[in-house]
Amino acid sequence: MTQFLNKHFKHNNSIMSEQRKAAALISGGLDSMLAAKVIIEQGVHVEGINFFTGFCVEGHTHAIRERDRAQPKRNNSLWAAEQLGIKLHIVDVIDEYKDVLINPKYGYGSNMNPCLDCKIFMVNKAKQWIQENGFDFIITGEVIGQRPMSQRKQTMPIIARESGADDLLLRPLCARNLPETLPEREGWVDRAKLFGFSGRSRKPQMELAQQFDFVDYAQPAGGCCFLTDESYSAKLVDLWQNRGTKDYELDDVMLLKVGRHIRPKSNFKVIVAREEGESRFLEGYKKEFTSLISSSHSGPLALIDGEPTDEDLALAGRIIARYGQGRDAEKVDILVRSQKGLEQTIQVSPFAPDQIAEEWFV
């Protein structure tokens, strides 16, 4: 009996110690959620990793803009992890990501989104993570043909190879269309229970979501980050062109999401808050930027990015006066505050709508 118990116990132990572990890249969208679920269903221990590049579409703008404050907000990757019942590790890659965005080997997509380089970077980071944390393989929610730049049949092996993950990278939703990976060959997962989705249709994912009882999942129209957004990308390009260097700080990334960006001359631009919440947010940057606000009428706060002359400040004053209650007044007082806190008041006449040239809007 003891012998039997020992043997049985040992056997169970060895089964337990052999439970394989996978790290799932969780973006917060449906596909990464489904991929993780498919592998959890096969008895693998799955934990999620989410990389924060600074450009991720999450609560930021909601937190800033007054009109969005009332809407319920959630972080989709945390929400997805909770639905899946797995841990989630959010990794700050803001600094390292700069090199990906500034010098993408495979270039940009339709906007400033370097999707292929981004995927390679993230899978490479996941590879480092699994090595440091004793995990066996990586899963992603990629589907062949789903996205024009990064999810094509030809790019799948590029991501696997250039990230260094090679056959430790399993894409459960389209694995049946790809060569066998190590987890399949070793029998850690059953290839027959993986999928062969391909193309742009979302139907197979919807059906699988229904099978898993996933409701209320996020379906961001523009994908997972601001870099796929046309107007955001235009502001980023404008920033690089006018600074004469392709570089950025996290503050730049945040400020590009806020306010009207108006560049009357190449040496400076004006960031004008569109509402109360944005004014409050911009307040936090008064030590880093020259700021302007009307002192004679109520109106928005504005920051000046660049090196304005006194004449430029008067021009900026006329712009922001246009967006305040004094827009029809003959003269408006504008309080100009330097980064160091030195204050001066200038008097300007507000611009008429047609005096703010169309091409000044970034």
Partner 1 sequence: MSRETLNARRLLCPLPVIRTQDRVKQMNVGDHLEVICTDPGVMQDIPTWCRINGHTILEAKTEDGEYIIVLEVGE
End-to-end CA distance of the chain: 80
Ordered strands of the 137-139 beta sheet: 88-92, 45-52, 21-25, 137-139, 169-170
Nearer residue to partner 1 within complex by CB, 38 or 88 = 88
Per the listing, tokens 């009332």 go with 70
Of the candidate residues 42, 45, 66, 74, the single one contacting partner 1 (CB under 8 A): 74
β 137-139/169-170 pair status: parallel
Instruction: Please tell me whether residue 57 binds ligand SF4 under the rule CB under 6 A.
Output: no
Residue positions counted in the chain = 362
Question: In this chain, which stretch among 6-14, 178-186, 218-226, 287-295 interacts with ligand SF4, using CB under 6 A?
Answer: 218-226
Which residues lie closer than 8 Å to 332 by C-beta, 6 or more apart?
A: 294, 296, 297, 299, 317, 321, 324, 326, 347, 348, 349, 350
Region of residue 264 (phi > 0: left; psi between -120 and 50: alpha; otherwise: beta): alpha
Q: What H or E segment, with its residue span, contains residue 290? A: strand 290-294
Binding at 228: pick from partner 1, ligand SF4, none (beta carbon under 5-8 Å per type): ligand SF4
Instruction: Please tell me whether residue 228 binds ligand SF4 under the rule CB under 6 A.
Output: yes
Instruction: Please tell me whether residue 22 binds partner 1 under the rule CB under 8 A.
Output: no
Binding at 337: pick from partner 1, ligand SF4, none (beta carbon under 5-8 Å per type): none
129 exposed, middle or buried (CB, 10 Å; 0-12, 13-18, 19+)? Answer: middle
Nearer residue to partner 1 within complex by CB, 72 or 244 = 72
How big is the site for ligand SF4, counted in residues (CB under 6 A)? 11
β 169-170/290-294 pair status: unpaired
β 88-92/137-139 pair status: unpaired
Question: In this chain, which stretch among 81-89, 137-145, 160-168, 221-229 interacts with ligand SF4, using CB under 6 A?
Answer: 221-229
DSSP 131-162: HHHT--EEE----BTSSTTTSSTTHHHHHHHH
C-alpha span between 329 and 40 (Å, rounded): 65
Instruction: Please tell me whether residue 60 binds partner 1 under the rule CB under 8 A.
Output: yes
Of the candidate residues 42, 75, 296, 349, the single one contacting partner 1 (CB under 8 A): 75
Q: What angle do CA 181, 45, 38 make, to 5 degrees?
A: 60
The answer to whether 290 and 310 are in contact (CB under 8 A) is no
Question: In this chain, which stretch among 115-123, 126-134, 159-167, 297-305 interacts with ligand SF4, using CB under 6 A?
Answer: 115-123
Binding at 157: pick from partner 1, ligand SF4, none (beta carbon under 5-8 Å per type): none
Question: In this chain, which stretch among 60-68, 101-109, 139-147, 214-222 interacts with partner 1, using CB under 8 A?
Answer: 60-68
Residue 257 structure tokens? 């999401």
Binding residues among 116-175 for ligand SF4 as defined by CB under 6 A? 118-119, 150
Binding pattern for the stretch 224-263 against partner 1, x by CB under 8 A and - elsewhere: ------------------------------x---------
User: What's the closest the beta carbon of residue 163 comes to ligand SF4, in angstroms?
Assistant: 13
Instruction: Please tell me whether residue 218 binds partner 1 under the rule CB under 8 A.
Output: no
Of the candidate residues 88, 126, 159, 303, the single one contacting partner 1 (CB under 8 A): 88
Q: Which residues bind partner 1 (CB under 8 A)?
A: 50, 52, 56, 58-60, 62-64, 69, 72-75, 77-79, 81-82, 85-92, 254, 284
Residues that bind ligand SF4 (CB under 6 A): 113-115, 118-119, 150, 223-225, 227-228
